[in-house]
Structure formats: C-alpha cells, structure tokens
A and B are shown apart, each in its own frame.
Chain A
Amino acid sequence: MDAELRELYQQVILDHNKSPRNFRKLENANHTAEGYNPLCGDKINLYLIIEDDVVKDVGFQGSGCAISKASASLMSSIVKGMKKQEAEKLFEKFHDLVTGKLTNEEEIEELGKLAVFAGVRDFPARVKCASLAWHTLISALQDGKKVVSTEE
C-alpha cells in the first residue's frame, strides 16, 4: 500500500473502524447531539452523561467511513472522565492536527492515540470525516439536543 495511504489508514484506525468502542445508545444520557455530513451521508448520534462538568460516560451510534467511525470511537474513549473545558481544548488541538496546523512533533505526541489522525492533513476532503464526531461532541457539551452539520 502507498505510504501516504498507509499513513491515513493506520492499523489503529482500521481496528476502531472494525470494532468501535462505546458503540451504543446511552438510555440515561443527559446531553445528546446529532451530527451529519451531508456530502457523504455520514451520520452520528452522540450520547453523554455529564455530572459536575465532567463527562462520566459516552456512547455513539451512526454510520460513516472508516475515518469518521474511528474518530468517533477514539474520541469517545479519550473524553471519558474529562472536564468539559478539557474536551473543548482537546478538540482545538485535534482540529489543528487534521488540518495540518499542528506540526510540532512534541505537541502531536501529547495528543496520544489521537496522533494517528495526523495523516488526514494530506487528504483535505477527509478533514470533515475526521472532525464530525468532535463537532457533535462540542454541540452536545454546550446545550445538548442539537443537530450539527459539517456544511454550516
């Protein structure tokens, strides 16, 4: 496989695509949001349980490409236990990573597992796939019960 392509579809991403973590509906969620990417038909329903400003539990459902599904899966594992503000900050970093603004190796490493999405920067058309779950997260964190679209 081509190196650039291998960089995009890292094994971690393929694994999360195949067996996404937290892929379930949380019946007792107190914050939810729906995200759409109308260009490719990606769709995600996100469920959060937030107590004292801390994300206690995360679940998601939906359909999409490997990049969007793996991104939702990794996001759900990472933000569990985080404070709202921490999650929001992390999204900014993640966004810089996939759009190629974050180039400092150390800072990329600080992102931990999320660093596997660095390859997305070479595929501008896939940035929306990678960030859909995060946009949906921000919306759910803010007031919940909202529909977000990558086209607005």
Chain B
Amino acid sequence: MNRTAVNSEKKIFKLERIRADFPILKTIVHGKPLCYLDNAATTQKPQIVIDKLVEYYSSMNANIHRGVHYLSEISTKAYEDSRIIIKNFINAKSEKEIIFTKGTTDSINLVANSFGRSKLKTGDEIIITGMEHHSNIVPWQIIAEDKNLKIRVVPITDDGEIIFEEFEKLINEKTKLISVVYVSNSLGTINPVEKIIETAHKAGVPVLLDAAQAIQHLKVDVQKLDCDFLAFSGHKIYGPTGIGILYGKEKLLNELPPYQGGGDMISKVTFEETTFNSLPYKFEAGTSNIAGAIALGTAIDYVSSVGIDSIAKHESELLDYATEKISELSEIKIIGQAKNKSSVLSFVIENIHPHDVGTFLDFEGVAIRTGHHCTQPVMDRYNIPATSRASFAMYNSKEEVDVLISSLKKIIEVFK
C-alpha cells in the first residue's frame, strides 16, 4: 500500500470505482436509492476500513504497549504504524506530535484543559470566530469561567467570511491563544488560516485549527501552515467513530501538563510522585480505541490512494454544479456565500421549515442534515432558526445533485 501519502503523480479519479468501495451506498431508502449528502456530519466507510476493524478483532486483538506476547506486539506495531501514516499525511515533523484522541471535540478539550490550566491566567484572552462549532466554543467557556478569561469573537460578514481587520484589532498583549475553524461546517467557508497564523505569530500567539471539515477535503500540511495545534475526527475522513487526532508542535506539547491521568501515560508511579511518560503517550491515558486508530490509518491510506487533490477537484465541481442548480430556484436562499468554499451547501427555503425539507427529502432517498449544525451563533447571526445542509464527499455524483434538486422542486410544489 502507498504509505508515502499524496505524491505528485496525477491520479485518475474513477467515480464508479470509488462508489463500489462503499457498500452502504447500495442501500435503498423508502424504495429509492440512497443519496447520501450528509457527509459533514459523518462520512461513509470503504470496505477496507470495515475489513480492518474485523481483521483487528479477529486476528490481532490485544492491549498495546504492555504485553510481551505475540498479539500485543503486532497490535502495538499496527497502532504505531497508523500514527506514522497520519504523521505523513499531515506532514508533521515527528510522530511524537500525533496524539490519538476520541475526536475533534476531545482534542480541543485536551488543549483547553492542558494549555488552559498551565498557560492562562485571569484577564487573558482567547480569540475564536463567529462561525465556530460548539466544540470550539464551549470548552473555552468552561476554562474561561474557571480562570476568569475573556473570549473574543471575530465577526463575520453576510456572505460568511471573517472580517480580517476586526480580527487584527482583537489581538493585543492579553491574547494567549487563537482557536479557529479551518472550514465551517454550517457555511462551508474556508478561512484564510495561513494569513491568520502569520498574523498571530507576529504577535507571538499560538493558533489551534479545528480541521474537522478540512482534513477530508483539502491538502493539510501542518509545517507549511505552521499551526501550533490541529484537531480532526476520524469519522469525517472515512474512518471509524470514536477516534481522532490532536497534532501539536513537539516543543509546545512538551511544555504542557497531561490532560488525564491513568495507565500508559506514566513512566513511574509511587504514591508520593509520578513521572509522566514522554510524547505522545503523556496525552494518551488509558486503553485507547486501538481498532479505531488502526482503521483510521487504513482510511487515510485509502484517501491518499485516491489522492486528496483529485478529491478536492471533484468535490469542488460538485459544489459549483449544486450551487448553480439551486440558485435557479427563486424560493431558495443559500446561507454562506464565501468566495472560498468547501463542499457544504447550506440553504433555506421561503416559508418551508428545514425540518419539513429533511423529512420530504428522506422519502426521496436523500439524506441531508437540518437544524443548527451545532453552530447556534451562526444561526443567530443570520436570524434563522435552522438551515438545510447538503454536504459532499468523494463518492457523490452530479446525478445525486440532480436528485436533490428535483426533490426540492417537489417540496416547493407541495407547500405552495
């Protein structure tokens, strides 16, 4: 298998072959072929990822880093190999910078807790944006409450872009961390993270990127970005649930105290004192989701074998096509019209509540998400209770966009 991640050779993107790799896509819903457009919530899994989970439990299962027996050795090796796959995929300097977590939420909580407890004090400020997922708001509010910190929010425009000058104005000597979403899950906006990081670093402030909606769509190179932390979830990049990654610069991670205490994260424990294990184990207390971590490596190998650039190109064509088609329906308004967008299309239909849209589309076999998408402040910003959201993955087709559009026409007709 190709472990050297994305290479420069042009990959040929064959949609039919990709679709055949995902068994769930053959599902029939209410008599219609499934048209799965809820990929921002979670992606489907290719057969090799499913097989890897089965293989792990049928021939490798053992606890890692502990046993000297055969099974423990092979499972430890597979787990650590997966860490290397992920390190290569995001181009981290060292596998010590790759921490297995439960997911994006867990990764952000780790930083909020560990960085928050050790580096922040009364009056310090954290900057986030107006388009954060609740998982990049609430952990900061909890630590802010505890330590008397201030959370500053970068406002967004009607189109769904951050107002960069306002961001610059918010930075001051009290700013200790900037935590921003790379790609918004409710608006699709790709934030100018390079510029944000450059500006932050000039002021000596570290940056955490919530890459939950970026990692599966864009080439992410942590060294090129120069971000200090980066969080993502396995289940949104064709891997299992319950596994995710926190990337952190080695130097910074070394300065931070552990988040949770327990087994695996220590090197020596007495009742008087404990010395912590080295990176990355210091942050991996307890038995982790071993099968999930290994299968995440498989998922990422799969993405690399298709080629992240080819995926990005295909998805961007789908988004453009869907945007064009949906714009022809005068009853529909797109929420989130940033210039730079990834495969998320959020919209509202005049006089039809998103909930009704969701139920109708389900009967056409179309799975979309309706609601506030865990971004209530975004809904408040646009003065709407909820949106309907179609989000695309590598296996979606133009024909599926056509099904979405014709289903939307039907519901508009029924509610007339």
**Contact surface of A with B, Cβ cutoff 8 Å:** 1-2, 4-5, 8-9, 14, 17-18, 39-43, 63-67, 69, 123, 126, 129
Contacts and interface: CB of A to CB of B under 8 A. Distances in A.
23 contacts: A1-B410, A2-B31, A4-B30, A4-B363, A14-B415, A17-B415, A18-B351, A39-B371, A40-B354, A40-B355, A40-B385, A41-B372, A41-B386, A42-B355, A42-B385, A63-B385, A64-B355, A65-B356, A67-B355, A67-B356, A69-B353, A123-B359, A126-B359
A113 B54 CA distance: 53
Contacts of B31: 2
Nearest to A39: B371
B359 A14 contact: no
Nearest to A69: B353
Interface string B357-371: 001100100000011
A5 B360 contact: yes
B365 to A, nearest CB: 11
B351 to A, nearest CB: 8
Given A41-B386, A123-B359, 17 more contacts: A2-B31, A4-B363, A5-B359, A5-B363, A9-B414, A14-B415, A18-B351, A40-B370, A41-B372, A42-B355, A42-B385, A63-B353, A64-B355, A65-B353, A65-B355, A66-B352, A66-B415
Interface string B387-416: 000000000000000000000001000110
Interface string B186-199: 00000000000000
Contacts of B410: 1
A63 B30 CA distance: 29
A3 B410 CA distance: 15
B74 interface: no
Contacts of B30: 2, 4
B379 interface: yes
B138 to A, nearest CB: 15
A129 B385 contact: no
B38 to A, nearest CB: 15
Contacts of A126: 355, 359
Given A9-B414, A41-B372, A43-B385, A129 B355 contact: yes
Contacts of A9: 356, 414
B45 to A, nearest CB: 24
A66 B353 contact: yes
A19 B357 CA distance: 19
B359 A41 contact: no
A3 to B, nearest CB: 10
B385 A41 contact: yes
B327 to A, nearest CB: 25
A100 to B, nearest CB: 17
A69 B352 CA distance: 11
Given A14-B414, A14-B415, A63-B385, A40 B371 contact: yes
A109 B218 CA distance: 57
Contacts of A64: 353, 355, 385
Nearest to B386: A41
